[in-house]
Amino acid sequence: MTEQNLNGRAAIVTGGAAGIGGATARRLAADGAKVLIVDVVEEQAEANAKRIRDAGGNAITMIGDVSQESVAKEMVERAVSEFGRLDILIQNAYGGGADRAGSAVEVEPDAWRSGMDLLVTAHYLGAKYAVPAMEESDAAPGYEPEPWTGRGRRHGSPPAANVGRIVNISSVHGMLQAPRSLIYEAGKAAVIGLTR
């Protein structure tokens, strides 16, 4: 275990069963965060959560497709219910497949829609439900805000400070295009735009 600089914080990692998402879930837990792993591959998700718990961390799983609004809403509700708050959302989930490879001429409309839902719509839905939960969770434990120096009507009330972080995983493919990868390339470019 490391320094535990995320003690008291709660995180969701979509696509957290393996790969980049799996490693991210393990790192967050090693740094002290309580982690909800959301994935469609139950066996791998459970194995990663067990690995985290065996190392002294705190992790649970939820199986579901985060491109579905009901799942996006439920994952936030589950994190808040289990951990009492939400501080971090890592949006990493994506599942490729032979039907999602190809150019605009080769890709079928249903594959386009399902691929873009998982790559882009899921990020929108995650933010839609996570941001209010993060705001309600308030600042992370132990956070001491800087004194507010705004004055007059133009500056208004102090902004919410340190109430959460969303990390959307894109790729170099969002900027540099590879042939016959229309869905992945367009989706990762959209993630960059959505994050901005």
Roughly what angle, to the nearest 10 degrees, separates helices 182-195 and 122-137? 30
3-state per-residue secondary structure call for 34-74: EEEEEECCHHHHHHHHHHHHHCCCEEEEEECCCCCHHHHHH
Kindly report the number of other CB atoms within 10 A of residue 195's CB atom: 15
Residue 184 falls in the annotated catalytic set = yes
Q: 124, 129, 143, 184: which one is catalytic?
A: 184
What residues form DSSP beta bridges with 37?
13, 61
Contacts of 43 (CB under 8 A, 6+ apart): none
Contacts of 35 (CB under 8 A, 6+ apart): 10, 11, 12, 13, 16, 25, 28, 29, 49, 52, 57, 58, 59, 60
Q: Is 94 helix (H, G, I), strand (E, B) or coil?
A: coil
Contacts of 69 (CB under 8 A, 6+ apart): 125
Active site residues: 184
